[in-house]
């Protein structure tokens, strides 16, 4: 067990606390977590994501819209196709840390 260092840091302000809570809400839905898990390794389009997760393209699009609004994924257009990728390495790191935690026991 890692010893915890006592800190005299001030409590987060309401706005920042709300933003962090919203971030973790994104991880509170199993479909969104499964989408994030796929996008942690590569970019994919809606059809491929829907097939991999086993839900409708409409449902995937709905989840991706929310993830985009939370700045967790980014779209990239290639003609008529839209590909999605995680916004940055922080998102993948959050996912992997959570996965490591639950697989650890």
- Mean per-residue pLDDT for 6-34? 91
The tokens for 18 are 């709300």
Res 33: pLDDT:
97
Distance linking the first and last C-alpha atoms of the chain: 14
Domains of the chain in sequence order? 16-104 (1.10.10.10)
Is residue 14 a contact partner of residue 45, using CB atoms and an 8 Å limit? no
Rg (CA), the chain: 16
pLDDT, residue 9, reads: 82
pLDDT of residue 32: 96
Indicate whether 27 pLDDT > 80: yes
pLDDT in tens, 33-58: 999 999 999 999 999 999 999 999 99
The Cα 64–Cα 58 span in angstroms is: 10
Mean pLDDT of the chain: 92
pLDDT of residue 4: 63
Q: Tens digit of pLDDT for each residue in 68-103? A: 999 999 999 999 999 999 999 999 999 999 999 999
Q: Is the pLDDT of residue 17 over 80?
A: yes
């Amino acid at each position: 067990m890692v010893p915890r260092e006592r800190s005299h840091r001030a409590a987060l302000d309401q706005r920042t606390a709300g933003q962090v809570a919203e971030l973790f809400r994104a991880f509170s839905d199993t479909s969104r977590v499964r989408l994030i898990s796929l996008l942690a390794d590569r970019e994919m389009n809606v059809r491929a994501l829907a097939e991999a997760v086993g839900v409708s393209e409409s449902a995937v699009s709905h989840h991706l819209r929310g993830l985009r609004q939370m700045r967790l994924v980014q779209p990239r257009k290639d003609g008529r196709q839209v590909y999605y990728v995680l916004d940055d390495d922080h998102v993948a790191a959050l996912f992997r840390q959570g996965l490591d935690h639950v697989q650890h026991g």
